[in-house]
Structure 1
């Protein structure tokens, strides 16, 4: 069975006759019975055939969102509900460690009746339990007809930084699934997983061992999937004590998480006018969040639309952004922080009200948003890179799902000593920004893994990290943020979006981000010609020439301007708009730098001793 058969979107299955509520109930409460029923009349002994029969049945039963949402959800944040062992469950998760091991399982067993000598075969998959047989029957282990299968085991965790709106509700038909749930007190809640195997160490999360039965079907490291499978409680093979009960999910089928899974019920965006309307709506909201700074809002929108893709061996489409001009964080916990040591859990939350305003706004628009304050205790006491040198993959802060929005707050970086680990962490973050890659430390040699992270740096002055694009905030925006940071109550909160507009913007961002895009040859030739002319004129006037890096940035901005309007090809109008944006950005940055130099010179003059 090919892996593609198991990775289709869970909400995009073919239209078929409606499945009865009773069948849905039985599939949730007694899925193993349905697995056996689909194969009991088959004469085939091919495991792949049996697997396809079971998958086809369950995909048909849960082909629409209403049925799918009746399956109990494992690992919902803040709840002590877990599926009953042997029942069906869903888990939206990130694959933290895809190579947790392989297990051999007797999938098709040849049975013999010890009294009559009758023979039959039994399919038993999606469980760690042995074959349950009727009286008088036993497994003929000497038979050549027995078929074994290797299960691929992956350690999966709740998605780091997953926004509240992107969590699965599992609320449809709740009365049908209560029988398939265990309700536990806090003290009886299931094991939530190993702290060192979760990117945001110290954050509450859920974890489970997910077992995939189709060869090669296990998703890759850091991939996000919706898993539907049979829930059991078992042992973790890497648990040294061996006395803890571990959640386990035997995957019947799984699928990629798409915008249809996150924002269901909205019509697909098909025409350019819809893109333009959503673009205006999103830009207006971001402008308000940024205190009326339309230029900064425009670049923030382009940043949100960035998506790293590889074209002819080169990574394109990324746009890390540094917004400059935020007030420094006010350290309100000097005394308590002085007592903290290396054992203190790091905090992945923005404490500066001015930067938190941005982080909160983005979390409402993107499905995954991680906040990384540049506090010394976090930089020095946490590892940003994953490490498997001990044989077990321990997560790092940068082991995040593709498309995750990272908001880095540099305003909270206080005076102090940045240790060796802190330096390595900043270097790892810089590599993620410039190369869209994260290094995994494996025995004998590190391995560089491709990443697709959107990294936004908020800082008071220019960031200590090099970014694709830097922009000073307008003075009016900085003043508003200063009021917010001062907590005088005069700034107020940005106007919140109503639920419908929020969903429309979320759908717009995801749809535009994944548009197929190309640059027509005539536009490419025209850009090259204009670039050559600009350099020639600069040379003649003895002025600074436009560099290759500046041209590449303008091309990236033009690409994002185009997709923001739903264009699949770069138009000359979008190129002109990108050039105008870059001219405005450079003019603003130059103005701020000139004012800064003038202020420094004035301060220097005042410090000089007067003449007698």
Structure 2
């Protein structure tokens, strides 16, 4: 790549600074953003920008490389920094320029200082392997050790953590028209910037600053909630939607649920659910799959269902609800010594969280475990998550689908019809021993549909997750009449158990997903 924008971005910025009209230096950061964006955002050029990921970690790049980092914002509470924007040697500061302001001999004028916003971003948690394919670099064997693993929501998972620095306005916004509002935690963006290594801000826990991977943002592109752009309706799929839906359900059943097609349909319905309204609340239904046998070996083995869903959806994470995780880890992000530690519920909107109870053993649940369970219940019910700080907490909106698998008839921690809306007993069509093997086979043993068919599956479920569906008058009337009939029958039954208005709401929500 001979383009100087990719090979020597610092020289390009210096040249822009030299050519800049002194009367317009206040707008220089925006000028830099527009210059790089206009050259790099074209699809054919953008495809040439190296991707920063686990296959191509920071150690595989030289200092000052231009890269793109597909990331989730984890922490926006970091204090802004000041940088020397103008210096007597005629070299502008910012963007990690190695000599920006270093030759200053006199006192620094406060009028030459500008503010730089600082964030912490991480590899998108739960990101499926088929997303963001096509990295132009060959794979590397360079190992990466993240400096601040406590800022990633999936404990012990390999990832990249990056300090983002962005020349900002007085409102703390990156100069990019796609970000008309401040960045918020769990937002997803593709950040294009200059890679360096710089000190992280000191904290009470670590008073001596240490160098971390730093990306000086040139511009960013917002990643949609579907991660991969989708259409609804997708005109190319309309003629085959009904048959495709049946094929998807059957494939989930065969590969992930030992042949149980009924359970597979409920999994799909809950996986495509999303927040449709907060006032009044129209929130995703959560789902408990009961009678799910534990694995034969390690109790933390990931169910095959995780691998199957990861082939269809872009964001899928499994969270084992073991007593150790409940009692000794955090579900909510929490500020400790002025540093925001992540929690295993801090996931981007559109995520599917598969909670497994197979690792639950005898033992006590202590105060932290009770708080963690309460946080999960609250997020299921209200789609909100607390961010805990020393003297206060802040509530952030979420939009995640929950699927719980449990060995018993009901969830150990979450009661049906209160926090989880649907409870279905798994009924495998395979013999017991074969069923258990099928429910916990590795990802490389899954039989995938042909590539074209799998692409259609992904487009259909991706569009379903963002589409607006209305219930016709005839369908609404049928739901109401069916509800009244069943309520009447249940009331007259031996148990005398009637239906509540919540059951009618639930049927309407399900109808929207069908």
Shorter-chain TM range is 0.7 to 0.9
The answer for the alignment partner of 1:303 in structure 2 is 270
Q: CA deviation at 1:230?
A: 0.9
List alignment gaps of at least 5 residues for structure 2.
174-181
Aligned counterparts of 1:281 and 1:110: Cα–Cα separation in 2:
64
2:334–2:341 Cα contact (<8 Å) kept: yes
Q: CA deviation at 1:77?
A: 4.6
Relative to structure 1, the CA distance from residue 540 to residue 472 in structure 2 (aligned partners, 3 Å threshold; closer, same or farther) is: closer
The answer for the alignment partner of 1:553 in structure 2 is 506
Relative to structure 1, the CA distance from residue 529 to residue 260 in structure 2 (aligned partners, 3 Å threshold; closer, same or farther) is: closer
Matches within 5 A, 1:328-367: 328-330=294-296, 350-351=300-301, 356-367=303-314
1:375–1:414 Cα contact (<8 Å) kept: yes
Aligned counterparts of 1:318 and 1:92: Cα–Cα separation in 2:
26
Q: CA deviation at 1:416?
A: 2.2
Residue 499 (1) aligns with residue 451 (2): yes
Matches within 5 A, 1:581-596: none
Q: CA deviation at 1:129?
A: 4.1
Residue 281 (1) aligns with residue 229 (2): no
Aligned counterparts of 1:35 and 1:269: Cα–Cα separation in 2:
42
Aligned counterparts of 1:540 and 1:99: Cα–Cα separation in 2:
54
SS in 2 for 1:166: coil
The answer for the alignment partner of 1:422 in structure 2 is 369
Matches within 5 A, 1:114-129: 123-127=92-96, 129=98
Deviations 1:489-537 (A, max 9, x none): 9xx95522333333332232222211134456x5697478647854895
The answer for the alignment partner of 2:69 in structure 1 is 91
Residue 512 (1) aligns with residue 464 (2): yes
Aligned counterparts of 1:220 and 1:259: Cα–Cα separation in 2:
14
The answer for the alignment partner of 1:8 in structure 2 is none
Counting matched residue pairs gives 490
Aligned counterparts of 1:523 and 1:105: Cα–Cα separation in 2:
64
SS in 1 for 2:462: helix
Aligned counterparts of 2:509 and 2:149: Cα–Cα separation in 1:
38
- Alignment RMSD: 3.6
TM-score (norm 1): 0.71
Deviations 1:337-370 (A, max 9, x none): xxxxxxxxxxxxx41xxx6211111122222221
Aligned counterparts of 1:229 and 1:78: Cα–Cα separation in 2:
15
Aligned counterparts of 2:480 and 2:276: Cα–Cα separation in 1:
26
Relative to structure 1, the CA distance from residue 45 to residue 402 in structure 2 (aligned partners, 3 Å threshold; closer, same or farther) is: farther
SS in 1 for 2:262: helix
Residue 226 (1) aligns with residue 161 (2): no
The answer for the alignment partner of 2:155 in structure 1 is 201
Aligned counterparts of 1:139 and 1:281: Cα–Cα separation in 2:
71
1:94–1:224 Cα contact (<8 Å) kept: yes
**Residues 466-475 or 96-105, more deviating:** 466-475
**Residues 123-132 or 215-224, more deviating:** 123-132
Larger Cα-atom Rg: 1
Residue 242 (1) aligns with residue 208 (2): yes
Aligned counterparts of 2:66 and 2:290: Cα–Cα separation in 1:
49
Q: CA deviation at 1:277?
A: 5.0
Q: CA deviation at 1:59?
A: 2.1
Aligned counterparts of 1:323 and 1:308: Cα–Cα separation in 2:
21
Matches within 5 A, 1:528-567: 530=481, 534=485, 544-561=497-514
Aligned counterparts of 1:525 and 1:58: Cα–Cα separation in 2:
52
Relative to structure 1, the CA distance from residue 47 to residue 423 in structure 2 (aligned partners, 3 Å threshold; closer, same or farther) is: farther
Aligned counterparts of 2:216 and 2:439: Cα–Cα separation in 1:
52
Residue 210 (1) aligns with residue 164 (2): yes
Q: CA deviation at 1:540?
A: 9.1
List alignment gaps of at least 5 residues for structure 1.
1-20, 113-120, 334-349, 562-612
2:479–2:507 Cα contact (<8 Å) kept: no
The answer for the alignment partner of 1:316 in structure 2 is 282
2:80–2:117 Cα contact (<8 Å) kept: yes
Q: CA deviation at 1:442?
A: 1.4
SS in 1 for 2:70: strand
1:90–1:227 Cα contact (<8 Å) kept: yes
The answer for the alignment partner of 1:270 in structure 2 is 235
2:187–2:348 Cα contact (<8 Å) kept: yes
Relative to structure 1, the CA distance from residue 30 to residue 321 in structure 2 (aligned partners, 3 Å threshold; closer, same or farther) is: same
Residue 431 (1) aligns with residue 431 (2): no
Residue 151 (1) aligns with residue 103 (2): no
Relative to structure 1, the CA distance from residue 66 to residue 450 in structure 2 (aligned partners, 3 Å threshold; closer, same or farther) is: same
Deviations 1:461-493 (A, max 9, x none): 211213111111225258376441799x9xx95
Q: Report which of the two has the higher share of helix.
A: 1
1:89–1:228 Cα contact (<8 Å) kept: yes
